[in-house]
Structure 1
């Protein structure tokens, strides 16, 4: 079975972003921003409350300490710093989960931290070690340092696929600084090729193999609801829905 996940709670103060409320009924699990790239205490609490009320599981979505860049600008970090960034933010989320009777489902790093750990073995292992402390899986790019670190540390690994982002031919993600709409028919084709055929298409037109345990649709994508609806339809058609 394949799950559908979405990044949510990426708000700050009176400013809110994304299509969180409309996506909750469509997804299986949610990755909640924990304050460093987006999100504040009240926003985190509200997101946790709403998601749990919708019967959806929750994982932490820790990012780099970069509100202005939305966590999408790389930083130079030591592995122990990366671990503490993830530990600190996940601990905050767990406090809100505990307050509402929920539990942590997984850890999925955000933005540039996600990209950095997919390429750096020591940083990836540092993050996987935090997941081991909580006894939860990590989400990541298959056949990258994410998966190798999970296997080495001994935590479950969930292979992700993105229908609203482009890939390079080495299987790495191309993360845009600003969200943009993805044509629904294009998202559907990507989902079908990945889920049915085990293939993804890079930005240069080449194909590469992909394994999918969970499909991500970003909440801040302008047409996120339409994309998530399409992916849900594909999962149902292929009898892969979680």
Structure 2
């Protein structure tokens, strides 16, 4: 753990989301710059071989490994809302977490966290029943795991209510609503495509604990882990630039430690 007053931030990236013949692609280039990897578990992306290879890549770089469970929606990449019950959310979270954990254990590692993917993440950020079910699945699988969730959301509050450690997540390339939720991807301005604007938002969130919403309001926010998306055409360049920027701001990149 950091023992001085230097700000710290975990950098996480969603990985292992391709299929078939495994190509390291952006994952191999990005891995040296991050501290945590969220690895797809086969429902929205990934397959057994890709899971195994991505876990191996993460462990080789001393990157914390997390399960990235999503909705059973390969065609929609897990980004389309589905009408699921809390029981469904519990079962699919437990199933996918167990699968990814098996690959980690087989390679001599230890699962560090769970971060829901896409629509499941966003739905649970607003729906306390889904959030509680996901948190319970994680806790009952291993109470020492960390649940990554949108800062200030139901995922964080429901996990904390049952004694599960959490990591409040923020986004560099997504805009925010005045209620602290992410702007839905199908709305104008949801994605921040200007690199400098993304870096300015990181500075605001990490150093000043706030973010400016799309309608100009200042929203308080807790930033413990920053999601870096690795699937864009300039993803590797952005990750490199982000790392340089954080270090220039005096921010230490560091995996969240299990208590």
TM-score of the superposed pair, with normalisation by structure 2: 0.88
Quote the residue 2:227 is aligned against.
216
Aligned length: 241
> Is the 1:108–1:140 Cα contact (8 Å) retained in structure 2?
yes
Q: Which runs of 4+ in 1 moved over 3 A?
A: 14-18
Give the secondary structure class of the aligned counterpart of 2:236: helix
Shift of 1:181: 7.4
1:231 to 242, 245, 252: 242
Root-mean-square deviation (Å): 1.9
Alpha-carbon distance in structure 1 between the residues aligned to 2:231 and 2:38: 13
Give the secondary structure class of the aligned counterpart of 2:246: helix
Quote the residue 2:99 is aligned against.
92
Alpha-carbon distance in structure 2 between the residues aligned to 1:88 and 1:174: 29
Quote the residue 2:166 is aligned against.
157
Segments of 5+ residues of structure 2 without an aligned counterpart are 1-7, 255-259
List per-residue Cα deviations over 1:32-85 (Å, max 9, x = no partner): 000000000111111111111111110000000000000000111111110111
Relative to 1, partners in 2 of residues 1:67 and 1:18: Cα closer, same or farther, differing over 3 Å? farther
Do residues 188 (structure 1) and 194 (structure 2) align?
A: no
Do residues 35 (structure 1) and 35 (structure 2) align?
A: no
Alpha-carbon distance in structure 2 between the residues aligned to 1:207 and 1:17: 39
Quote the residue 2:76 is aligned against.
69
Alpha-carbon distance in structure 2 between the residues aligned to 1:125 and 1:17: 35
After superposition, residues 71-220 of structure 1 pair within 5 angstroms as: 71-133=78-140, 134=142, 135-176=144-185, 182-220=193-231
